Amino acid sequence: PLCTGAAPLIMVFGDSLSSAYGLPQEAGWVSLLKKRLQQERLDYQVINTSISGETTRGGLSRIAQSLATHHPAIVILELGGNDGLRGQPVEATRDNLESIIKACQLHGAKVLLIGSGEMAETVARLLAVAGARLLVIGRTPEKVQALSDAVGGEPRLWTELAASLSEVDIVISSTSTAA
């Protein structure tokens, strides 16, 4: 939305990649997102509730409190990498992410699921099999189509994101995964 009054809140819920672990806070992607939204004159507030080292199990244990405290319109969910590093079963990661996503949706928030590499693609495929409606977004049609084909989502370019949010349950970014 363009500056229209009360700004909707974007809550980033992730691990060290989102918490800017090892970086000055202003160099992390969440701070860069805030700056970009301001530059584009898009009226959103952004809060970062990410915790370095967080797993999907840890995220599941704290999502209800984060939702109740912040009441986000959009949740950017970036968890799962630490599960993979710790050898957690992909099914458990999927189940935890699915529960986090459902909790967000019950609070009326849209979910943008981001991740990297095969773990993100595997979880996306499992969510699609479970019946989630997926939207795959990115900057280049080729990458978007490739990831969409891989996970069973609807391909869209970044410029189409806002208009497409009401159509889907989960958004997956092709710029965050190996395509």
* Tens-place pLDDT, residues 67-94: 999 999 999 898 988 988 898 888 898 8
- CA torsion angle for 65, 69, 73, 76 (degrees, to 10)? -50
The phi, psi pair for 87, rounded to 5°, reads 75, 25
- State yes or no: pLDDT of 127 exceeds 90: no
Residues whose CB falls within 8 Å of the CB of residue 57, separated by 6 or more in sequence, listed in order: 83, 88, 92, 96
Q: If you average pLDDT over residues 51-65, what whole number do you get? A: 96
Task: Retrieve residue 21's tokens.
Answer: 């672990």
Strand pairing partners for 48?
12
Task: Retrieve residue 137's tokens.
Answer: 């977004």
In angstroms, rounded to a whole number, what is the distance separating the alpha carbons of residues 22 and 24? 7
- Choose the most confident range, by mean pLDDT, from 90-99, 130-139, 165-174: 90-99
Tell me how crowded residue 32 is: count the other CB atoms within 10 A of its CB: 12
In angstroms, rounded to a whole number, what is the distance separating the alpha carbons of residues 134 and 177? 15
In angstroms, rounded to a whole number, what is the distance separating the alpha carbons of residues 44 and 28? 18
Residue 100, class by beta-carbon neighbours within 10 Å (0-12 exposed, 13-18 middle, 19+ buried)? Answer: buried
* Residue 55 CA, distance from chain mean position: 14
pLDDT at 124: 73
pLDDT at 166: 67
Decide which of 173 and 59 is more confident: 59
75, containing H or E segment: strand 74-78
